[in-house]
Amino acid sequence: MWLKLKTKKFYIPAILIIVIIVVGVSFRFHKKKNCSESVAVIPITGYLYSSPQYNSDGSVDKNNVISLDIVAQIRKADEDKRVTALVFVIDSSGGEIFTAEEITRAIKEVRKPTVALIRARGVSSAYWIASATGRIFALPVSEVADIGVTNSYTDNAKQNADNGITFHQLSYGKYKDTFNTDKPLTPDEEKLIMEQTTEQANVFIKEVSENRHLPIEKVQALADGSEILAQDAVKDRLIDEIGSFADVDRYLSKTLKKNVEMCI
């Protein structure tokens, strides 16, 4: 059987229209019936920055995570009486250390259950964020940890010299041109950078130690900058469980004492 649409000069199989209607109704019914709007799902996907990053055309790069946006979502969910739990769905290789500090401080102020679900990756500052939640789930081969800090950068001084480019240092302050890629590091600059990097790493290690209730010596031993598969991270207590969305649903249902299924 075929239906003729008067406004268009073509025919559509009636069976196709019926299938489309049934699928559409089923999808809406499934979503309304099964997912719980009371659980705030906050995705942390992409590189972590403290402020927006822009593309070459001037538009905001939406593939990044901005800490102020995440903090706003956390506070809104915590203040919303309809929200009973917050789930952070993480797939990030980390980013600026400042973003982790801002977001973890906001998570620690939440008065409701918080859960992190690490999908492909939750490493470096993204793992720092996960560690601040009450429970961490990850898939067996998800990459986690990478506890460490880097301030490495490329020195173009030799290349510039080979190309006849001269760097003229006209600055006030001994360390003002530190990290300028057109000049080599001085011994004092390198020493200063390593001291600051070590201090930042110590804060990271201390936070993970407190968040995960682990001896600081144990976290220091694990803080070699390597990524660990989740199935191994469970043994080191860096995460709590191997699991996915369904396992988080079961955990929250048990914790909240009511059936819960995240809206994703």
Q: Structural domain boundaries of the chain?
A: 37-146+226-264, 148-224
pTM confidence score: 0.83
User: 260: which residues sit within 8 A by CB, 6+ positions away?
Assistant: 36, 38, 39, 84, 85, 249, 252, 253
Which whole number is the average pLDDT over 189-195?
Answer: 96
Cα torsion for 172, 195, 94, 260, to the nearest 10°? -120
Instruction: Give the total residue count for the chain.
Output: 264
Task: Please report the pLDDT score of residue 35 as a whole number.
Answer: 84
- At 121-151, the pLDDT tens digits run 999 999 999 999 999 999 999 999 999 999 9
The answer to whether residue 20 scores a pLDDT higher than 50 is no
* Answer CATH for 37-146+226-264 from 3.90.226.10, 3.40.190.10, 3.30.43.10, 3.30.450.20: 3.90.226.10
